[in-house]
């Protein structure tokens, strides 16, 4: 019941945020709304993307994968590099009636670019990265664990509703935030030691 409620809550968030509790109560008592919120949940949308890509034999080039290398450059978008999203390829072709950006599907992206071979190669790479995270997270360095734990969560779970470019972008953001935090800790610790020494 808790899992099902998460599907429903996502469709009620706006009404809850603005305090429209009459709408919330009428929605949760409407069986059509409950069914719709479950069927239109992200997990079903992600599966629908993969299904449509395979059924329609939707093939792309490797642009949306090749451009991932630019995600390793900080502020690459400000330098004029426009990294294409897989969504920009499949949504206009397969879901033209949807008026908002829908999620990606990394497996659909790999299939579209490289067929089943692309899926298998990425699966091997995906599992290699998971095993690497697993090995490092069982290490003894709390500092490394604190940086890699959120990265591992994004890679293991959140990647399935994204494309490769956005997944790498998320990992990059975590690393930047980690190093900025580490730098601030070093600076503050140094200042605290100097104050202690001078007092």
Q: Using the predicted structure, report yes or no on whether residue 183 has a pLDDT greater than 80.
A: yes
Domain assignment of residue 46, yes or no: no
| Total structural domains within the chain | 2
**pLDDT score for 188:** 92
How far apart, in whole angstroms, are the C-alpha atoms of residue 94 and residue 56?
Answer: 8
For the beta carbon of residue 158, count every other beta carbon within 10 angstroms.
12
Domain assignment of residue 49, yes or no: no
Domain assignment of residue 102, yes or no: yes
How far apart, in whole angstroms, are the C-alpha atoms of residue 144 and residue 150?
Answer: 11
Tens digit of pLDDT for each residue in 87-107? Answer: 999 999 999 988 888 889 999
Shared domain for 137 and 93, answered yes or no, is yes
How far apart, in whole angstroms, are the C-alpha atoms of residue 132 and residue 38?
Answer: 35
Shared domain for 89 and 175, answered yes or no, is yes
Shared domain for 86 and 178, answered yes or no, is yes
Note whether 60 and 112 are within 8 A (CB).
yes
Burial annotation 20-31 (CB, 10 A radius, 16+ → b, else e):
eeeeeeebeeee
Domain assignment of residue 112, yes or no: yes
Note whether 34 and 40 are within 8 A (CB).
no
Tens digit of pLDDT for each residue in 26-42? Answer: 888 888 888 888 777 78
How far apart, in whole angstroms, are the C-alpha atoms of residue 195 and residue 191?
Answer: 6
Domain assignment of residue 47, yes or no: no
Tens digit of pLDDT for each residue in 144-168? Answer: 888 899 999 999 999 999 999 889 9
Question: Which of 18-22, 79-83, 105-109 is most confident?
Answer: 105-109
How far apart, in whole angstroms, are the C-alpha atoms of residue 155 and residue 161?
Answer: 11
Q: Using the predicted structure, report yes or no on whether residue 143 has a pLDDT greater than 80.
A: yes
Residue range(s) defining the domain that contains residue 99: 57-198
**pLDDT score for 15:** 84
């Amino acid at each position: 019941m808790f899992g099902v409620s998460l599907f429903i809550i996502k469709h009620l968030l706006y009404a809850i945020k603005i305090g429209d509790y009459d709408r919330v109560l009428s929605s949760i008592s409407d069986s059509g709304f409950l069914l719709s919120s479950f069927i239109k949940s992200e997990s079903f949308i992600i599966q629908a993307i993969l299904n449509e890509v395979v059924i329609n034999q939707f093939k792309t080039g490797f642009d949306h994968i090749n451009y991932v290398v630019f995600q390793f450059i900080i502020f690459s978008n400000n330098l004029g590099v426009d990294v294409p999203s897989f969504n920009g390829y499949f949504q206009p072709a397969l879901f033209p009636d949807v008026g908002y950006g829908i999620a990606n599907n990394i497996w659909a992206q790999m299939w579209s670019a490289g067929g089943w071979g692309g899926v298998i190669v990425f699966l091997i790479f995906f599992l290699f990265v998971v095993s690497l995270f697993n090995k490092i997270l069982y290490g003894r360095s709390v500092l490394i664990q604190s940086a890699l734990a959120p990265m591992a969560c994004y890679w293991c779970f959140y990647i399935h509703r994204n494309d490769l470019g956005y997944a790498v972008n998320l990992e990059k953001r975590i690393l930047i935030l980690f190093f900025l935090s580490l730098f601030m800790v070093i600076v503050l610790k140094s200042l605290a030691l100097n104050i202690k020494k001078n007092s």
